[in-house]
C-alpha cells in the first residue's frame, strides 16, 4: 500500500481550496509527477485558451518516489500550457521542496484562476494558505527566498519562486528552488506571474525516510549499479554535468556563435574541469550519492567576490560558446544572473546568440538595438540584454518573446537564424553529428529539447548492448540513421517514467545508462509495495507519452512541428571533426512514427489508442 497523500486544488479567483486523496489506483495508472500532470491537463484543458489566461492550469506535483528512501528521488514536476510554444509546458526541478511535500503527505497542487493581488502559497502541516505578497513583488529570486525565510522565522523553509522575469511574463521565465535549482524550460515562470503567484513555501520537520530491510537491499544495489555501470560516476561527482562540455567540443558539436561553428579553442576553461578552481563547496539533493551541484566563488579579476552555483552542461554551452563567450568568470556571473532574475538560461542564451547573429549579418542595426553594439562574446552587452529581457525593456522587450516571435517582429530573413523547435529554443549541442539527438530535438513534445527524451544510449551503450536492446548496433553509430526511431521511442517512454517517479536523470540515466526499468520496478515494490513489472512501467509510460501527444494535437500541433531548422537539415558543418555532416531527418521521423504506432502524419492510430486503453475517451472528441 502506498502511503496516503493529498492533492490540493487551489482556485485563486474564488479564493477557494479543496483537498482530494491521491489513491493507489491513481498511482497504478499514471504513477505521479509528470504522469499525473499530463493526465489531469489532458482531461481538463479541453477548451481553447491562451497560456497566460487565468483558465490555464498550473500543476506542481512530486514523483511517486520523491522524498522516499529511493536514491536521487528529489524531483517535482511543473506543467501547464506553455507561453512559449502554446503546447505542453513541462519542467522538472530537484532540491528539497519535493521531499518537504512528501513529509507532509502531499502529492501536489492544482492551481487555477488568478489572484487579485500578488500572493504566495504557504504549505504546512496545517494545510495550505494563501498569503499576501505585495512586499515580495519586484524582488529577485534570492531576495525573495531570504525575505520569506526571515519573515517566517524558518531558515529551513523551502521556497519555489519567480523573479522579475516571471512577474513581467517573459515567455521563457523559469521557477527557482533554492539559488540554482531551476525549473527553467517552457516558460512556467510566466504562468506564475500571470496568476500573481510570487512563490510557494513549504515548511515541515525534517524526517528521515523509513526503509525496510528489503528496501535497503534494493537501494544498495541501485547505488552500486550507479557507481560501477559506466565508470562516469566520478566525473559527475567531481565536475557535475558541465564536465561533458569538453567531449562535445571534441566531437565538433559544441554550438558556437549561433551554430556557425562546432568548436572553440578554449573549451577546457569552461568545462567542469576548468571551472573546478572556482568551487568551494559541493552540494547534493536529498539522498543522492552523486553530489553534482557545487557552490562557486570568483576570487579574482572581474566579478571578484561573486558567489553562486556551478552551471550545468547546457547552460554553459548556451550562455558561453553560443554567444561567443569564453571568459569563465563572466560565464559564471551571467549564468547565475539569469537564475537571480528568474530566466531560463537555455532560452536566454538562444535569444541573445540569435540577436548577435542578426546584428553581425546586418539584419538588425543600432537603430533596432537602442544603440547597443552586439559583439560576439561581449560580457557587458550580454549582461545588458539579460537585464533588458527580464524587465521587458529596450531590445529585451522583443527578445522576451522568444526567437520564433522575435524573428516575426524583426522580419527580413531573421527567421533563418531563429533556431527553435515548436517555438522552444533548442539545446546547445549541434545535432548535425548526433542523429538520435537530432531526432529527439525534432519530435520532443515540449519543443527543442534533449532531456524529455534523453537518448543517452546513442553514445554510452556498447555495440553489443545496443544490438541486444534495439536490434542493431547502428544505434551507437552517431551519424547513422538506422535504429534511431526505436531508440527515441524507448528513451522517451523511459524518461516519462523517470519523471513520473520523481527520480533524477543524471544518476539514473546519464551515469547508469540503464533503460530497462528493472531496478526502478524493484525500487517501487520495495518502497511503496506497488507491484509494477517492467512491462507495466513501459505500458504506463507509453500511454502517458501518447496522452502528451494528444494534448499537443488538441492545441494545434501537427507533423510539420516535428522538424528542425533548415540549418541542421540542409547546411553541413564547414569545419572541424563534424565537417560535412547534416541531418537526414525525414526517414528518422517516419521510423519514429512507425515505432510509436502513429500514422505518417504523427497521429496515434485507432489500434494504438485501443491497445493503450485510450480509445473512446470523451476528451478525444476535442481533438
Residue 147 falls inside a structural domain: yes
- Average pLDDT rounded to a whole number, residues 303-321: 97
- For residue 550, is pLDDT > 80? yes
Contact between 20 and 106 under an 8 Å Cβ cutoff? The reply is: no
> Which triple of cell numbers denotes residue 346?
537555455
User: Tell me, what's the pLDDT at 31?
Assistant: 97
Residues 523-536 as b/e (b if ≥16 CB within 10 A, e otherwise) read bbbbbbebebeeee
| Same domain as 601, residue 530 | yes
Tally Cβ neighbours within 10 Å of residue 607: 10
Alpha-carbon distance of 605 to 611, in angstroms, equals 10
The crossing angle, in degrees rounded to 10, of helices 585-596 and 484-501 is 60
CA 602 to chain CA mean position, Å: 23
3-state secondary structure of 31: coil
- Residue 128 domain-assigned (yes or no): yes
Q: What is the mean pLDDT of the chain?
A: 96
CATH number of residue 198's parent domain: 3.60.9.10
| pLDDT value of position 436 | 98
* Mean pLDDT of the 293-309 span: 96
* CATH number of the domain enclosing 272: 1.10.569.10
Instruction: Among 375, 398, 424, identify where a domain stops.
Output: 424
Please indicate, yes or no, if residue 386 is contained in any of the structural domains: yes
**Do 486 and 494 meet the contact criterion of CB atoms below 8 Å apart?**
no
Q: CA 448 → CA 55, 66, 346, 418, 439, distances in Å?
A: 26, 27, 10, 12, 10
Answer with the one of 164, 183, 202 that is the final residue of a domain.
Answer: 202
E strand spans, 5-150: 5-11, 16-22, 58-62, 76-81, 88-93, 106-112, 119-124, 127-132
Q: What is the pLDDT of residue 623?
A: 66
Query: Same domain for 458 and 394?
Result: no
What does the block give as the cell for 475? 544505434
Pairing status of strand 88-93 against strand 106-112? unpaired
| Same structural domain, 530 and 394 | no
Closest CA to 320 of 310, 332, 309, 303: 332
> What pLDDT was estimated at residue 476?
97
For the chain, what is the domain count? 3
212 in a structural domain: no
567 in the same domain as 493: yes
Give yes or no: residues 288 and 178 share one domain.
Answer: no
323 inside domain: yes
Q: What is the pLDDT of residues 57-75, one digit of tens each?
A: 999 999 999 999 999 999 9
In angstroms, the CA 12 to CA 157 distance is 23
Residues 388 and 484 in one domain: no
pLDDT tens, 9-52? 999 999 999 999 999 999 999 999 999 999 999 999 988 899 99
Same domain? For 368 and 469 the reply is no
Q: What is the pLDDT of residues 73-86, one digit of tens each?
A: 999 999 999 999 99
Q: Mean per-residue pLDDT for 281-294?
A: 94
Is the pLDDT at 301 greater than 80, yes or no? Answer: yes
Instruction: Flag whether pLDDT at 228 surpasses 90.
Output: no
Residues 330-382 have pLDDT tens digits of 999 999 999 999 999 999 999 999 999 999 999 999 999 999 999 999 999 99
Q: Do residue 239 and residue 152 come from a single domain?
A: no
Confidence label for 212 from pLDDT (cuts 50, 70 and 90): confident
3-state secondary structure string across 116-153: CCCEEEEEECCEEEEEECCCCCCCCHHHHHHHHHHHHC
Is 239 part of any domain? yes
Pull the grid cell for residue 390. 527580464
Sheet holding 106-112, edge to edge: 16-22, 5-11, 106-112, 58-62, 76-81, 88-93
Query: Which residues lie closer than 8 Å to 409 by C-beta, 6 or more apart?
Result: 398, 401
Domain of residue 461, residue span: 436-622
28 closest CA partner among 5, 8, 9, 1: 1
Last residue of a domain, one of 202, 217, 239: 202
What are the C-alpha distances in Å from 246 to residues 90, 197, 263? 29, 39, 10
Whether residues 276 and 378 fall in one domain: yes
Q: Which residues fall within 8 angstroms of residue 36, CB to CB, at 6 or more apart?
A: 22, 26, 30, 59, 61, 107, 108, 500
CA proximity to 403, closest of 393, 382, 391, 389: 389
From CA 294, how far away is CA 222, in angstroms rounded? 24
pLDDT at 3 exceeding the cut of 90:
no
How far is it, in rounded angstroms, from Cα 265 to Cα 281?
A: 29
What confidence tier does 622 reach under pLDDT thresholds 50, 70, 90? Answer: low
608 domain-assigned: yes
pLDDT by residue (tens digit) across 493-515?
A: 999 999 999 999 999 999 999 99
The Cα 186–Cα 86 span in angstroms is 9
**pLDDT above 90 (res 179):** no
| Residues 419 and 440 both lie in one domain | no
pLDDT of residue 231: 79
Report the predicted TM-score, pTM, of the whole model to 2 decimal places: 0.97
Whether residue 265 is contained in a domain is answered as yes
**pLDDT at residue 394 in the model:** 98
Q: Which of 148-157, 161-170, 208-217, 279-288 has the lowest mean pLDDT?
A: 208-217
Q: Are 351 and 330 in contact (CB under 8 A)?
A: no
- 585-612 pLDDT, tens digit each: 999 999 999 999 999 999 999 999 999 9
CATH code, domain carrying 492: 1.10.599.10
Examine the domain organization and report whether 355 and 441 are in the same domain: no
Same domain, 261 and 146: no
Amino acid at each position: 500500500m502506498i502511503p496516503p497523500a493529498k492533492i490540493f486544488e487551489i482556485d485563486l479567483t474564488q479564493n477557494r481550496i479543496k483537498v482530494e486523496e491521491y489513491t493507489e489506483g491513481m498511482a497504478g495508472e499514471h504513477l505521479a509527477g509528470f504522469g499525473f500532470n499530463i493526465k489531469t491537463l489532458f482531461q481538463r484543458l479541453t477548451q481553447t485558451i491562451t497560456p497566460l489566461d487565468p483558465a490555464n492550469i498550473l500543476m506542481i506535483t512530486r514523483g511517486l518516489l520523491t522524498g522516499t528512501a529511493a536514491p536521487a528521488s528529489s524531483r517535482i514536476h511543473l506543467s501547464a500550457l506553455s507561453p512559449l510554444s502554446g503546447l505542453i509546458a513541462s519542467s522538472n526541478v530537484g532540491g528539497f521542496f519535493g521531499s518537504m511535500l512528501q513529509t507532509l503527505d502531499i502529492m501536489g497542487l492544482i492551481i487555477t484562476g488568478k489572484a487579485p493581488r500578488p500572493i504566495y502559497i504557504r504549505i504546512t502541516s496545517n494545510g495550505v494558505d494563501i498569503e499576501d505578497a505585495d512586499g515580495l513583488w519586484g524582488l529577485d529570486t534570492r531576495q525573495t527566498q531570504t525575505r520569506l525565510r526571515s519573515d517566517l522565522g524558518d531558515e529551513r523553509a523551502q521556497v519555489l519562486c519567480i523573479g522579475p522575469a516571471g512577474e513581467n511574463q517573459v515567455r521563457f521565465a523559469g521557477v527557482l528552488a533554492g539559488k540554482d535549482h531551476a525549473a527553467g524550460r517552457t516558460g512556467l515562470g510566466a504562468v506564475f506571474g500571470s496568476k500573481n503567484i510570487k512563490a510557494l513555501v513549504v515548511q515541515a520537520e525534517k524526517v528521515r525516510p523509513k526503509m525496510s530491510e528489503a528496501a535497503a537491499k534494493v537501494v544498495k544495489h541501485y547505488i552500486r549499479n550507479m557507481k560501477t555501470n559506466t565508470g562516469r560516476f566520478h566525473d559527475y561527482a567531481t565536475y557535475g554535468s558541465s564536465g561533458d562540455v569538453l567531449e562535445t567540443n571534441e566531437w565538433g558539436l559544441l554550438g558556437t556563435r549561433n551554430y556557425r561553428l562546432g568548436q572553440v579553442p578554449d573549451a577546457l576553461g569552461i568545462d567542469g574541469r576548468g571551472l573546478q578552481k572556482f568551487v568551494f563547496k559541493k552540494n547534493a539533493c536529498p539522498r543522492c550519492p552523486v553530489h553534482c551541484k557545487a557552490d562557486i566563488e570568483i576570487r579574482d579579476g572581474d566579478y571578484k567576490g561573486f558567489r553562486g552555483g556551478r552551471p550545468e552542461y547546457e547552460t554553459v554551452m548556451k550562455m558561453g560558446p553560443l554567444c561567443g563567450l569564453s571568459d569563465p568568470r563572466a560565464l559564471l556571473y551571467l549564468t547565475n544572473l539569469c537564475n537571480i532574475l528568474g530566466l531560463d538560461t537555455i532560452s536566454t542564451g538562444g535569444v541573445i546568440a540569435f540577436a548577435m547573429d542578426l546584428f553581425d549579418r546586418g539584419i538588425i542595426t543600432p537603430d533596432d538595438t537602442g544603440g547597443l553594439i552586439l559583439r560576439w562574446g561581449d560580457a557587458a552587452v550580454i549582461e545588458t540584454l539579460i537585464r533588458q529581457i527580464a524587465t521587458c525593456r529596450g531590445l529585451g522587450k522583443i527578445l522576451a518573446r522568444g526567437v520564433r516571435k522575435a524573428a516575426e517582429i524583426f522580419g527580413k530573413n531573421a527567421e533563418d537564424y531563429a533556431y527553435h523547435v515548436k517555438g522552444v529554443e533548442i539545446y546547445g549541442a549541434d545535432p548535425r553529428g548526433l542523429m538520435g539527438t537530432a531526432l529527439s530535438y525534432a519530435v520532443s513534445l515540449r519543443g527543442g529539447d534533449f532531456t524529455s527524451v534523453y537518448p543517452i544510449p546513442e553514445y554510452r551503450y556498447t555495440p553489443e548492448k545496443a544490438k541486444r536492446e534495439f536490434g542493431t548496433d547502428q544505434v551507437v553509430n552517431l551519424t547513422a540513421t538506422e535504429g534511431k526511431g526505436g531508440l527515441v521511442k524507448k528513451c522517451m517512454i523511459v524518461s516519462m517514467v523517470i519523471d513520473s517517479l520523481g527520480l533524477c536523470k543524471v544518476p539514473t540515466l546519464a551515469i547508469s545508462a540503464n533503460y530497462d526499468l528493472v531496478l526502478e520496478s524493484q525500487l517501487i515494490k520495495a518502497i511503496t509495495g506497488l507491484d509494477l513489472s517492467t512491462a507495466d512501467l513501459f505500458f504506463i509510460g507509453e500511454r502517458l507519452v501518447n496522452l502528451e501527444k494528444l494534448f499537443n494535437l488538441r492545441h494545434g500541433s501537427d507533423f510539420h512541428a516535428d522538424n528542425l531548422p533548415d540549418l541542421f537539415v540542409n547546411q553541413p558543418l564547414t569545419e572541424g571533426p563534424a565537417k560535412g555532416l547534416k541531418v537526414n531527418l525525414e526517414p528518422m521521423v517516419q521510423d519514429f512514427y512507425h515505432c510509436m504506432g502513429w500514422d505518417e502524419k504523427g497521429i496515434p492510430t485507432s489500434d494504438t489508442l485501443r491497445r493503450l486503453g485510450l480509445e473512446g475517451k470523451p476528451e478525444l472528441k476535442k481533438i
